[in-house]
Structure 1
Amino acid sequence: MEQLFGVGALLFIGLAIGAYNEQRHLKSLRERERATLSVKLNNLKKIDIPNGDIVEQRLAVGGTVVSIDYFKLIVAGIKSLFGGRLRGIESLVSRARREAVLRMKEDAIDYNLIVNVRIETSSISSDIGRRSVGSIEVLAYGTAIKTLEG
């Protein structure tokens, strides 16, 4: 019985720390997104900017790798038995996408537009011991453009 209590306590501590870290990361994302509002994003391949107005252009890249914590892994495993949305995993993927796009914008902070923005995701998993650890890699990239107006 004591062992069950210990496992429950560890799961609760893991949940609390994971929720705290997630909220801290979301707050950081909001602050950094406000700081990069001047860099506009566009996913069109071609935009209407006269060539004489383009001062400089280059590739802007941002990437991140995020791993799932064990509490979310356990909850997702149980929930996958019954079907339905895996909200914990959805929030993880959403945060990874936001982080990658934000890093791309921070990479091109002196530019005023990023065109042809693309987001690539890939799943990374490996067996460590007998436990499967899942991670997601997100890469955001596009062409950063500096115009005369900027």
Structure 2
Amino acid sequence: MLENLTTLTISKCKKLKHILSFTLAQGLGQLESLRVCDCENLEQVFYLDHEREEYVGGGDHKNIVLPKLKILDLLRLAKLVSFFPEKYDACCPALEEFRVKDCSKFTTTFIVEEFQNLQVLEMSNCVNCEMEFSLG
């Protein structure tokens, strides 16, 4: 459905709580830029549509693969808690720029070893966000 989308910018959508379901996210193989800002009620970028998608239980994990994503900006999202559902991991091997600013409820842990092309990393006012740096 969105397989040719290369840029997604969402700004000032006050009532938006989620952006894309896990199923739609799997079809974003061409996405190069994802920028989300000033969406005061946004809680999660990728979410599970519980009527159509299966929750991963136990110790199992599923990946959300965004193979061409180069730019990820999450800015001024006061209620953002997570980038993806619990037990789901983001795989962004082409990521070059990663910015998270003014997302005080954001609790997602990112493991930086997967971001071999990362050139810009900016984080501010994200008191609950964790970054794990590993040499892999």
- TM-score tier, shorter chain, comes to under 0.3
If you compute each CA radius of gyration, which structure gives the higher value, 1 or 2? 1
TM-score computed with the length of structure 2 as normaliser:
0.26
Question: Larger relative CO (CA 8 A, sep 6+): 1 or 2?
Answer: 1
